[in-house]
Structure 1
Amino acid sequence: MKKFHPLLATLLLAGFTTLSLAHGDDPKTHRAAAVIKEQKEWGIAGDARSVTRTVTLTMGDNMRFTPDKLDFKQGETVRFVIRNKGKLLHELVIGTKKELDEHAALMVKFPAMEHDEPYMAHVGAGKRGDIIWTFNRAGEFDFACLIAGHYQAGMVGKISVAAASR
């Protein structure tokens, strides 16, 4: 029986991890990774061909999003175009208040923590990021920049998803 070499395992793992990217990276300099669709309380990753609406958000070093209140209908697939007008790295993370509070606390403890999910976009200064998200559940949700200090400074917004009419 052949032994599995630990170095080979490490190299394979390193190769697979380089396939995942932060949303907002320059599309000319990276390969796209498959998005893992996981149902969340606030929806599920969407497909570009299913986009029914595009919303542009700006964020800046004043620690604010514009707009900071968004309304959708259950079932809408939205392309968020996120523009960072500031000189600092910012991000947009969609979730529930509870999830964002917990994640923000972790970011304060571990500011260099890497994370990449389809409901997040990390956007460098002067850059643009995108999220495609399907709001398949009605409710009140939130979005925020969870970079240490940004959330605490009020870099947050609200999302309202109205139930689909029958």
Structure 2
Amino acid sequence: MFMRKTLVAVACLLALTSPAWAAPAHTYDFGQPAPAVKATRSIEVVMGDMSFNPGTIEIKAGETVRFVLVNKGQLLHEFNLGDASMHARHQQEMLQMQQSGMLTPTGMKEMDHGAMAGMDHGSMGHHMKGGMKHDDPNSVLVEPGKTAELTWSFTQATTLEFACNIPGHYQAGMVGKLTVSQ
């Protein structure tokens, strides 16, 4: 009897930890993150309060770009690669982070489990499950006066946006056009 219960417990544990049950890694049809050493060029993007400079970026398919993100504004900003629908979804997640008190005008706070009680984590998207985090590979937050980097390999021709999805920033014009050509 003991052996049978042990085998059943082990089988259940294996089933629950099997890759088939694991959450899938988020993939992007326009490319994937890459280490900075793989970059074929660097592009500096200056973040002002409600602006990006440059406002448009041209890239070739197959290119790996290191974005150097300099926040010269007074507010926390985000650099996020995606299309308009991805940004709309991410804006909802960022709004929930702001409403929870995790996202402030100038930074991020770590949330403990008690502070997250009662929140609807199931509606918060893939990077919110199991706790609130801002850790999408196509996105980086940059505090005022700081510099950050994001390196990305672009795999196919497409038209994207780079945007700040902190509540109100996209709507105020903090969005740029990124064209990936053949």
Q: 1:117 — aligned with what?
A: 136
Identity of aligned residues (%): 41
Distance between the aligned counterparts of 2:69 and 2:144, measured in 1? Answer: 11
Deviations 1:114-135 (A, max 9, x none): 3112211111110001001000
Q: 2:87 — aligned with what?
A: 100
Aligned to 1:128, which of 143, 147, 170? Answer: 147
Q: 1:57 — aligned with what?
A: 45
Q: 2:68 — aligned with what?
A: 81
Distance verdict in 2 for CA 1:38–1:50, change over 3 Å: farther
Distance verdict in 2 for CA 1:107–1:153, change over 3 Å: same
Letter in 1 for 2:138: Y
Q: 1:31 — aligned with what?
A: none
Q: 1:144 — aligned with what?
A: 163
Deviation of 1:99 after TM superposition, in Å, equals: 0.5
Q: Give secondary structure in 2 for the equivalent of 1:130.
A: strand
Deviation of 1:109 after TM superposition, in Å, equals: 3.8
The TM-score, its normalising length taken from structure 1, stands at 0.71
The TM-score, its normalising length taken from structure 2, stands at 0.65
Deviation of 1:68 after TM superposition, in Å, equals: 1.1
Deviations 1:37-93 (A, max 9, x none): 8540221011222110100000111x0100010000000000000000011111101
Distance verdict in 2 for CA 1:106–1:118, change over 3 Å: closer
Distance between the aligned counterparts of 1:154 and 1:133, measured in 2? Answer: 23
Distance between the aligned counterparts of 1:42 and 1:58, measured in 2? Answer: 23
Q: RMSD over aligned Cα, in angstroms?
A: 1.8
Distance between the aligned counterparts of 1:131 and 1:55, measured in 2? Answer: 10
Letter in 1 for 2:77: H
The structure with higher relative contact order (CA 8 Å, sep 6+) is 2
Larger Rg: 2
Distance between the aligned counterparts of 1:49 and 1:106, measured in 2? Answer: 31
Q: 1:48 — aligned with what?
A: 36
- Bigger Cα displacement from structure 2, 124-133 vs 102-111: 102-111
Letter in 2 for 1:79: R
Aligned 8 A contact 1:108 1:149 in 2: no
